[in-house]
Amino acid sequence: MRNLLLTLCYDGAGYHGWQIQENAVAVQQVLQEAIEKVLQQKPDIKGCSRTDTGVHAHCFCVSMKTGHPIPCQRLQAALNHFLPPDMAVLSCREVPLSFHARYSCVGKEYEYVIWNSPVRSPFLRDRALHYWYPLDVEQLNRAAAHFVGPHDFTSFCTTDSRDRGDMTRTVTASHWRREGEKVIYTVAADGFLYNMVRILVGTMLRVAERKFTPEEMPRILQAKDRRKAGPTAPACGLYLNRVFYDPADLILPGEKGE
């Protein structure tokens, strides 16, 4: 038995998120069917998170246990042959049997992309939030800075969500940048609550609209009340950008660390 780590890139516009469900096409199902075609075995695959309908991934990690002896490179090439064009396997490597794409994950980085222009972009439909009102990146950054550090993010989590227990997450990066008419938010943390990035973005857009000041962010955090934050920004702007693991968890027995 081997354990393989696949990194996947996908345009989420055509999928109902990662997780397999009835009456809707999920990324997991499409990947699973491609693996079955290649290995002639029903695979047991684990995703690093459950992305929502319409959310994209530059790098989504999947672990998969298999008794099949196929070399990693050949599996990657075969999967890219069978997968649809809006999905691609970027890499494939063997990892220890103890590795799990979700439970071994120590952090993630998301990007949220806004097309900030009076006119929509035909090339970014379903891939960015189209936002007319001119955004002031400096002001957004004053708001974003308040989220860095360990905080209880209850106010930034969809109520009735799957998240239970400790709502504290440690945000290690939270900043905005402008690239022409694109305005991009980057946020990294040891973990994310349900809809957390989209509510952070929706709340900071309220700052842009002068409905909140940047200095009100700590008060919203302290309230631990979803109703105090802004709306949930649309899924189409959200990209899972990077997934972090402890390198020690990736090294096979007998393999040398770098």
As annotated, the active-site residues are 52
Instruction: Kindly tell me which of 115 and 185 has the beta carbon lying closer to a second copy.
Output: 115
Cβ proximity to a second copy: between 32 and 203 the closer is 32
Residues 6+ apart with CB under 8 A from 157: 163, 167, 193, 194, 195, 196, 199, 226
| 177 in contact with a second copy (CB under 8 A) | no
Which segment (7-15, 31-39, 106-114, 186-194) binds a second copy by CB under 8 A? 7-15
Only segment of 39-47, 116-124, 224-232, 249-257 that touches a second copy (CB under 8 A): 116-124
Q: 242 has which bridge partners?
A: 109
159 burial via Cβ count (<10 Å: 0-12, 13-18, 19+): exposed
**Minimum CB separation from a second copy for residue 126, in Å?**
8
Q: Which residues pair with 185 in a beta bridge?
A: 112, 176
| 3-class DSSP assignment, residue 225 | coil
C-beta of 201: minimal distance to a second copy in Å? 20
How many other CB atoms sit within 10 Å of the CB of residue 106? 11
The residue to which tokens 């081997």 are assigned? 2
Q: Which of residues 10-49 bind a second copy (CB under 8 A)?
A: 10-11
146 interacts with a second copy by CB under 8 A: no
Asked if 93 interacts with a second copy (CB under 8 A), we say no
Beta strands in the chain (DSSP E): 2-10, 44-47, 56-66, 87-95, 105-115, 129-130, 149-152, 168-179, 182-189, 238-245
Under the binding rule (CB under 8 A), the answer on residue 56 touching a second copy is yes
> For residues 230 and 94, what is the distance between their CA atoms, to the nearest angstrom?
43
C-alpha closest to that of 238 among 192, 189, 201: 201
Ramachandran category for residue 71: left, alpha or beta (phi over 0 → left; psi -120 to 50 → alpha): beta
Is residue 122 within the footprint of a second copy (CB under 8 A)? yes
Residue 86 binding a second copy, by CB under 8 A: yes
One residue of 46, 50, 127, 228 binding a second copy per CB under 8 A? 127
- Residue among 19 and 80 whose Cβ is closer to a second copy: 80
Of 52 and 163, the one with the shorter C-beta distance to a second copy is 52
Q: Which stretch binds a second copy (CB under 8 A): 81-89, 158-166, 202-210, 246-254?
A: 81-89
* 152 sits near a second copy (criterion: CB under 8 A): no
Is position 81 an interface residue for a second copy (rule: CB under 8 A)?
A: no
DSSP 226: G
* CA torsion, ordered 64, 66, 70, 76, to nearest 10 deg: -10
- Does residue 89 belong to the site contacting a second copy (CB under 8 A)? yes
Residues lying near a second copy in the complex (CB under 8 A): 9-11, 56, 76, 80, 85-90, 119-123, 125-127
